[in-house]
Amino acid sequence: MGRVTRLVAVVATGIVVLAGCQRDEQGPQAPAAAPSTQEVSPGTLAAGAKVSAPKGEVVLTMSGEIGTHNKGKKLALDIASLEKMRTVRMETTEPFLKRKVTFEGVLLSDLLAVAGVPDSASKVNIVALDDYKVDFNVADVRSSQMLLATKADGKRMPVDKAGPIRIVDSSSLGRNPDLWIWSVSTMRLS
């Protein structure tokens, strides 16, 4: 009986070794792809264009190292101004609701371009209506699919539902839900 047990052990070990070798030949498994964006509208407001003063309620005020101004040394934007920029759609898992949500809005990289943020800027300080603050590196924002969302599941977001605008980030930075700042009010570039 001892020989049969040893034979079974040897065969089982061989199967495990062969399975491991086969896995190595297939190469490492690719990580799950981050959600991609789909263009909703190409927009009419792009980098270098004059940004008119907002006619509606200001939802975002940008300041600091920006080259585009419409309110003294600041750039004030309402929802209509944001929707004149290229808008995109992204479906991703919302970390607080713990379900898939389809967001629409402006890529932060496009917003920085429209605001005329120079290459010398290194930090974006974002502040919410409740004074919650998050800092991002400008380089990370420019290279990501970070979204300044104006809609969730096709509807505008009221303040009591994380609106009217919020950051949506499906990149590796966005794995930290503390960076998904909602009810964004100001951005300061330095």
Q: And the tokens for 177?
A: 């839900």
Note the pLDDT of residue 21.
44
Share of the chain above pLDDT 90, in %: 68
Tell me: pLDDT of 87 over 60.
yes
Q: And the tokens for 186?
A: 């100001």
Q: And the tokens for 43?
A: 């927009």
71: phi then psi, degrees, rounded to nearest 5: -150, 85
6-56 confidence digits (pLDDT tens) = 434 444 444 434 444 444 444 443 334 456 789 999 999 999 999 999 999
62: confidence class by pLDDT, cuts 50, 70, 90: very high
Task: Yes or no: say if 167 and 180 are a contact pair by the CB < 8 Å rule.
Answer: yes
Q: And the tokens for 163?
A: 């609106």
d(CA 181, CA 147): 11
Note the pLDDT of residue 17.
40
- What pairing do the DSSP bridges indicate for beta strands 99-107 and 58-64? unpaired
Q: And the tokens for 160?
A: 């009591």
Element (H, E) at 19: helix 2-26
Of 187, 105, 117, nearest to 147 by C-alpha is 105
150: confidence class by pLDDT, cuts 50, 70, 90: very high
Tell me: pLDDT of 69 over 90.
yes
171: confidence class by pLDDT, cuts 50, 70, 90: low
110-136 confidence digits (pLDDT tens) = 999 999 999 999 999 999 999 999 999
Cα–Cα distance list, 49 to 45, 54, 115, 168, 174 (Å): 6, 15, 9, 25, 30
d(CA 158, CA 163): 5
Of 90, 108, 188, nearest to 148 by C-alpha is 108
Query: 127 by DSSP, 3-state: which?
Result: strand
Tell me: pLDDT of 84 over 50.
yes
